[in-house]
Amino acid sequence: MPSTTFAPDEPLISTIDAVAYEARTGLSATPKTLSPWLFYDEAGSHLFEQITELPEYYLTRTERSIFAANASEILSEAALGQGPSGKLTLIELGAGTATKTGILLAEAVRQQGSVVYQPVDVSETALAEASENILSNIPGVTVRSQVTDYTREALPLNRLPDTRTLALYIGSSIGNFMPEDARDVLRNLRAQLLPGDTLLLGTDLAPNGGPVANKTVATLLAAYDDAAGVTAAFNLNVLTRLNRDLGADFVPANFRHRACWNPAESRIEMHLESLIAQRVHIPVNSSGRAFTVDFARGESIHTENSYKFTSAAVDALLASAKFRKMKSWEDPQHLFAVTLATA
Ligand code: AVJ
């Protein structure tokens, strides 16, 4: 599918259709659910950026520190087997504003003189910010951004002879998917890569599950329920989005943010819990007809899963998608892992 452009406050009809479809199917299911991609309208993308800077949200800064400590090794491993005149091209799935990627791009420029960077995201505004950041801070990078839902559409892999592609799937984005879906996303990615291309996967590690003590469940919960209430605002913003995009009449103050650890599934769950018994009207749905949603007091909408992996689980996930693990790096506290695998 070709790249599409739209003003952030004026989504494509097809975006509204997708929002309507999610709302109708998710809110008529038992238990009620909404897909996490709905978080990322302009306000939600901005709130997510704020989350990444919170003291409790260790993920972003920890992954950045792993890149900073190991960029040279990561890039040279990924470039192995490349032709003599070839250069590594970096493509990033779900790039967002690409704040951590700069470290890897600067190292790629150091190693090979220049680099082509292809950020892919569903958010046009995030991509615009990504290219601006990269272009003004790292000379030698050519940015080719593309608005694409990488879970459904083909990746814009522009290949030059002799070059290898390094696909970045970082930030624990894979953690949003149920295990089989995560495997399918990686299989789909691998099907579009050539032998010798590589994947760099960033995963948040499970609490005290592996061979070493790393983080407590309390640390994990705080990362998803911060003291300043930014994550609560991020979660509740999905209701504001449904109001705007579909003309729904959610009163966000009638819901509260809840984060919990599900040890059986090894995931953090985010929910929006209805504080009262209430009925919500949604005038637009995917078949163009209005519908209503009833909430009992205490009933919740499950809005996100964020899976946490042991290093064995990362290996198993990669193997299930037929990637071969090359090497992985962790921070000294074993909070987060970055794994390089070949297609
Ligand atoms: C962007 C999916 C990696 O799961 O940690 C942050 C989203 N949700 N705080 C995550 C998120 C609540 C984030 N990912």
Residue with CA at minimum distance from ligand 1 atom 5: 306
Question: In the structure, what pLDDT confidence band is assigned to residue 16 with cuts at 50, 70 and 90?
Answer: confident
For ligand 1, the distance from its centroid to the CA atom of residue 88, given in whole angstroms, is 29
CA distances (Å), 199 to each of 17, 93, 135, 232, in order? 32, 10, 23, 32
Query: CA 255, 206, 238 angle in degrees (round to 5)?
Result: 25
Residue 293's DSSP bridge partners are 280
Task: Please tell me whether the overall predicted TM-score, pTM, comes out greater than 0.80 for this model.
Answer: yes
pLDDT on residue 11: 55
Distance CA 300, CA 277 (A): 11
Average pLDDT, whole number, for the chain? 91
* Structure tokens, 35: 């897909």
Question: In the structure, what pLDDT confidence band is assigned to residue 261 with cuts at 50, 70 and 90?
Answer: very high
Q: Which atom of ligand 1 is nearest to the CA of 94?
A: 1
Reply yes or no on whether the pLDDT at 4 is more than 50: no
Residue 311 three-state SS: helix
Q: Where are the beta strands (DSSP E) in 75-145?
A: 89-93, 115-121, 141-143
* Structure tokens, 302: 């499950």
* Structure tokens, 326: 């090359």
Ligand 1 pocket at CB < 6 A: 51, 59, 171-173, 175-176, 224, 231, 304, 306
Place of tokens 């992985």: 328
End-to-end Cα, the chain, rounded Å: 24
For ligand 1, the distance from its centroid to the CA atom of residue 94, given in whole angstroms, is 12
Query: CA 51, 55, 56 angle in degrees (round to 5)?
Result: 75
Reply yes or no on whether the pLDDT at 211 is more than 70: no
Helices (H), 198-338: 217-223, 230-246, 311-320
Reply yes or no on whether the pLDDT at 138 is more than 90: yes
Question: In the structure, what pLDDT confidence band is assigned to residue 150 with cuts at 50, 70 and 90?
Answer: confident
For ligand 1, the distance from its centroid to the CA atom of residue 183, given in whole angstroms, is 19
Q: Which atom of ligand 1 is nearest to the CA of 171?
A: 3
Pick left, alpha or beta for residue 79 (phi over 0 → left; psi -120 to 50 → alpha; otherwise beta): alpha
**Is there a contact between 254 and 301 (Cβ–Cβ < 8 Å)?**
no
How many Cα atoms are found within 13 Å in the side-chain-facing hemisphere of 98? Answer: 35
For ligand 1, the distance from its centroid to the CA atom of residue 321, given in whole angstroms, is 23
Reply yes or no on whether the pLDDT at 218 is more than 60: yes
For ligand 1, the distance from its centroid to the CA atom of residue 289, given in whole angstroms, is 32
Q: Which of 53, 176, 306 to mutate to test the pocket of ligand 1 (most atoms within 8 A of CB)?
A: 306
Distance CA 332, CA 66 (A): 9
Is the reported ipTM for this assembly greater than 0.95?
A: yes
The pLDDT > 70 percentage for the chain reads 94
pLDDT on residue 191: 93
| Distance of alpha carbon 150 from the chain centroid | 11
Cβ within 8 Å of residue 330, ≥6 positions away: 66, 205, 311, 336, 337, 338
For ligand 1, the distance from its centroid to the CA atom of residue 86, given in whole angstroms, is 35
Question: In the structure, what pLDDT confidence band is assigned to residue 6 with cuts at 50, 70 and 90?
Answer: very low
pLDDT on residue 276: 98
pLDDT on residue 13: 59
pLDDT on residue 110: 96
pLDDT on residue 22: 94
Residue with CA at minimum distance from ligand 1 atom 4: 306
Mean pLDDT of 164-193: 96
Distance CA 155, CA 193 (A): 10
Q: Which of 97, 172, 226, 336 to mutate to test the pocket of ligand 1 (most atoms within 8 A of CB)?
A: 172
Reply yes or no on whether the pLDDT at 210 is more than 70: no
Distance CA 41, CA 86 (A): 38
Residue with CA at minimum distance from ligand 1 atom 10: 306
For ligand 1, the distance from its centroid to the CA atom of residue 221, given in whole angstroms, is 12
| pLDDT tens, position by position, 303-336 | 999 999 999 999 999 999 999 999 999 999 999 9
Reply yes or no on whether the pLDDT at 12 is more than 60: no
* Cβ neighbours of 9 (radius 10 Å): 9
| pLDDT tens, position by position, 57-72 | 999 999 999 999 999 9
Residue with CA at minimum distance from ligand 1 atom 9: 224
Question: Among 4-8, 110-114, 300-304, 318-322, which is the least confidently predicted range?
Answer: 4-8
For ligand 1, the distance from its centroid to the CA atom of residue 288, given in whole angstroms, is 31
Reply yes or no on whether the pLDDT at 8 is more than 50: no
- 331 versus 195: the higher-pLDDT residue is 331
For ligand 1, the distance from its centroid to the CA atom of residue 110, given in whole angstroms, is 31
- DSSP states of 17-64 as a string? HHHHHHHHHHHHSSSEE--GGGG-SHHHHHHHHHHTTSSS-HHHHHHH
Mean pLDDT of 81-94: 86
Helix (H) or strand (E) holding 187: helix 179-191
Residue 274's DSSP bridge partners are 255
Mean pLDDT of 163-169: 94
Q: Where are the beta strands (DSSP E) in 148-227?
A: 165-169, 198-204
| Distance of alpha carbon 322 from the chain centroid | 21
